[in-house]
Amino acid sequence: MTLFRRMLIEEYRMHTELFGERRFAVFPLFTALLVGVGVYLLELTGTEMDLVVAGLFVLVFFMGLQVGTIGLVGRDAMRNVLGDLTLLVFSARTLPISQRRLLSTFLVKDLVYYAVFFLTPIVVGFVPLVVAGELTVAEIGLLWLTIAGMFALGAGASLSLAGIATRNLPALLVVVAAIVAGAVLAPEVALSLTPYALYADPGVATAATGALALVVVLVAGPLLFEPPAEGGVRRIDNDHYHRLRALGGGFTARPLLEVYRSSGSLWKVAFSLGVLFAVAALLLDRIVAAMNIDPSAGIAFGTLLGLGTFTTYNWVTQNDDQREYLRYPETMAAVFEGKLRAFLLLSIPTGLLYLALGGVLFPRPELALGVVVFPLLSVYVFGLTAFLTGLSPNELLFDTALFALYGAALMVVAVPLLVAALAFDEWALPAAAIAVGVSLVAAAIGWLLVGRTGPRWEQRLRTEG
């Protein structure tokens, strides 16, 4: 219990130290407000609440996957993301506590911590629906319980998959392939094994089947996981650095190599955008079925993939200590120009591949609009993210004011584009013109912001306390 309590305090202090106590304290309130407003607006547009809740379950599952991974990536990777810190979970070498126990406690701590600070505010955001008579109090309670379960399923799945990976990599591929095949071929069965089943159809039977996968991953994860042994010494006998330098110098080659050589390699770029692509495809499919309109797949894919490139920005800056660049006789503007080239070289081909895949799922000529919207929006996302967060996009997490500003700036562009996507069925030409126009303006703003980012951050880093 002492270990659990200490880890909980450690997590809280880490967040308040990183983002400031007051800003962090406001974050749950902001989350509740954001969800509340979102739910209200969706309600106004006549969107089915079942669809919204199903989307929430997907989101929470991915959040769990992400949180479950971060404790397992090792001290060096944590340092790259969060700076120089030492966590209790890494203290197996100095304390008489097994790595397995440390890890299990760490996982439970994460579940409790995130349930309090994130999942509860999300559920609070749904409370207005009780007032509107859409949901009952009992359903709100069930929603909290089942999304907490879904989050735990994501975190436990991460741990289990990492556990399998540490023992046998081919086995990991087999398990992942089996899960994906199950989800695609028999989605109803797959869903019945998750906590979502209990929410969708409350009962003893669904409670039992819905808890099955959760119990398996929570037991298997800590049992399977072996702390990674010290990796071997990796020698590089190729001239990738020279070749990549030809694409725009050292400030471009370096982030490209860092993304390629760090955990997950280029797959992490594809995976991050793939999640956005899957969400867009799912929404398009459901909107067609539920609302009897046929939105523009090109604008919808282009918009969501474009907005999703903030993940690519995260990858190209993941290994940066921004103060390092102040040691060189180069401006920060040159650094950001290099990052922009690396960002575009990674995000544009990946996004275009997904758009091509979108063409297979939704074979229509208007998909070409996505080819216009996506790259233009990517430039906007780069400019905005770089301008607001510099080379530390993780600052967005938990910094309420910055997060709100960033969210608002994305919404300003996303809303007209998504409205244009929905209106395309009725007014194809004006909708297409609006989508292209908004994207062009956004790209111009993004470009302007890129130009201002270097001087802004140079000044900020030199004067910060």
Partner 1 sequence: MTAIQTQNLTKVYGDVRALNGLDLTVEEGELYGLLGPNGSGKTTTIEILTGQRTPTEGTASVLGTDPVAHPVEVRRPVGILPEREDPPSFLTPREYLEFVGEVRDVADVEERIETWSAKLEFQGVLDTLSTDLSEGERQRVMLAQVFLHEPDLVFIDEPLVNLDPLMQATVKTHLREYCEAGNTLFLSTHFMEVAEELCTRVGIIANGRLVAERDPRTLEEDLLETFAAEVERSAMAEVGHS
Alpha-carbon distance of 347 to 378, in angstroms, equals 8
Tokens of 81: 């993301």
Question: What single letter denotes the amino acid at residue 164?
Answer: I
Q: Which of 44, 237, 292, 363 binds partner 1 (CB under 8 A)?
A: 237
Q: Which residue reads 């983002």 in tokens?
A: 19
Which residue, 329 or 365, has its beta carbon nearer to partner 1? Answer: 329
The distance of closest approach from Cβ of residue 451 to partner 1 in the complex, given in angstroms and rounded to an integer, is 17
First and final C-alpha spacing in the chain: 38
The distance of closest approach from Cβ of residue 422 to partner 1 in the complex, given in angstroms and rounded to an integer, is 43
Q: Which of 131, 184, 327, 363 binds partner 1 (CB under 8 A)?
A: 327
Which residue, 258 or 395, has its beta carbon nearer to partner 1? Answer: 258
Burial class from Cβ neighbours inside 10 Å (0-12, 13-18, 19+) for residue 349 reads exposed
Which residue, 101 or 261, has its beta carbon nearer to partner 1? Answer: 261
93 binding partner 1? (CB under 8 A): no
The distance of closest approach from Cβ of residue 39 to partner 1 in the complex, given in angstroms and rounded to an integer, is 41
The distance of closest approach from Cβ of residue 22 to partner 1 in the complex, given in angstroms and rounded to an integer, is 16
Alpha-carbon distance of 371 to 301, in angstroms, equals 9
Interactions with partner 1, residue window 177-236 (CB under 8 A): 231-236
How many residues belong to the site for partner 1 (CB under 8 A)?
36
* Of 87, 89, 155, 88, nearest in space to 119 by CA: 155
Tokens of 213: 């996968």
267 binding partner 1? (CB under 8 A): no
Interactions with partner 1, residue window 57-86 (CB under 8 A): 76, 80, 84
Alpha-carbon distance of 358 to 373, in angstroms, equals 14
- The DSSP result for 393-421, as a single string, is GGGGTT-HHHHHHHHHHHHHHHHHHHHHH
Residue 109 has φ and ψ, to the nearest 5°, of -60, -45
Which residue, 50 or 76, has its beta carbon nearer to partner 1? Answer: 76
261 binding partner 1? (CB under 8 A): yes
Q: Which of 5, 6, 243, 323 binds partner 1 (CB under 8 A)?
A: 323
Helix (H) or strand (E) holding 124, with range, is: helix 120-124
Stretch that binds partner 1, among 177-185, 249-257, 284-292, 415-423 (CB under 8 A): 249-257
The distance of closest approach from Cβ of residue 71 to partner 1 in the complex, given in angstroms and rounded to an integer, is 19
Burial class from Cβ neighbours inside 10 Å (0-12, 13-18, 19+) for residue 1 reads exposed
Question: What single letter denotes the amino acid at residue 172?
Answer: L
319 binding partner 1? (CB under 8 A): yes
Where along the sequence are the contacts to partner 1 (CB under 8 A)? 76, 80, 84, 231-237, 241-242, 245, 249-250, 253-254, 257-258, 261-262, 319, 321, 323-324, 326-331, 458, 461-463, 465
